[in-house]
């Protein structure tokens, strides 16, 4: 009896593994592959919400976003991870650049202790540059790998092998 069952199992395995059906329809072309980076140039914050939104493409629901502010253009560009807090009026008032994101949008905004954010210096509100870095979320395989120092823009770019020599610039 065991030999007959074994014979049927072997014959069934051979029969089902050699079956071939019609070829399925072609898949969609690939879009932007993660991770990637883009730049928001000449960002002007104005009331009432003092926020600017961009719409990245190709993000999955588990992906992560990092936003960096351009803090220095002398020599090599210097980037600082948001949120960045600044002090005004001898430290009595604060304002910060911050961000939030979803699968379909990234919003950079100013928040602060001032009752009227339009009173912030023009250099704080106008003509700002930010880089948005989209990186894949933990998928179970990458969860145990060593994480990059997210506060260091160059470390993140190196960790995820991102070519930032030709960053897409949004106005």
Mean residue pLDDT across the chain: 83
Residue predicted with more confidence, 32 or 12 = 12
CB 85 within 8 A of CB 110: no
What the chain holds in terms of domains, given with CATH numbers, is: 36-139+146-164 (2.60.40)
Per-residue pLDDT averaged across 45-63, rounded? 88
Residue predicted with more confidence, 122 or 34 = 122
User: 139 pLDDT exceeds 60?
Assistant: no
* Residues with Cβ within 8 Å of residue 114, at least 6 apart in sequence: 88, 93, 95, 120
State how far the Cα of 49 lies from the Cα of 122, in Å rounded to an integer. Answer: 16
Residue 135 pLDDT class (50, 70, 90 cuts): confident
State how far the Cα of 152 lies from the Cα of 53, in Å rounded to an integer. Answer: 23
Per-residue pLDDT averaged across 41-62, rounded? 89
For 75-126, write each residue's pLDDT tens digit: 888 999 999 999 988 888 999 999 999 988 999 999 999 888 999 999 999 9
State how far the Cα of 100 lies from the Cα of 69, in Å rounded to an integer. Answer: 14
């Amino acid at each position: 009896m065991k030999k007959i069952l074994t014979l049927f199992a072997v014959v069934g395995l051979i029969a089902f593994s050699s079956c071939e059906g019609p070829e399925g329809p072609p898949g969609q072309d690939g879009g932007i592959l993660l991770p990637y980076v883009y730049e928001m140039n000449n960002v002007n914050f104005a009331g009432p919400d003092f926020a600017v939104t961009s719409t990245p493409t190709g993000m999955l629901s588990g992906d992560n976003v990092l936003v960096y502010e351009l803090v220095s253009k002398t020599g090599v560009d210097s980037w600082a991870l948001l949120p960045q807090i600044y002090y005004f009026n001898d430290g009595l008032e604060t304002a910060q650049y911050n961000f939030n994101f979803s699968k379909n949008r990234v919003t950079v905004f100013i928040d602060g202790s001032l009752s009227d954010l339009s009173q912030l210096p023009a250099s704080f509100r106008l003509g700002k540059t930010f880089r948005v870095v989209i990186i894949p979320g933990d998928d179970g395989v990458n969860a145990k790998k060593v994480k990059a120092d997210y506060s260091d823009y160059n470390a993140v770019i190196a960790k995820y092998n991102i070519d930032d020599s030709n960053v897409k610039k949004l106005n």
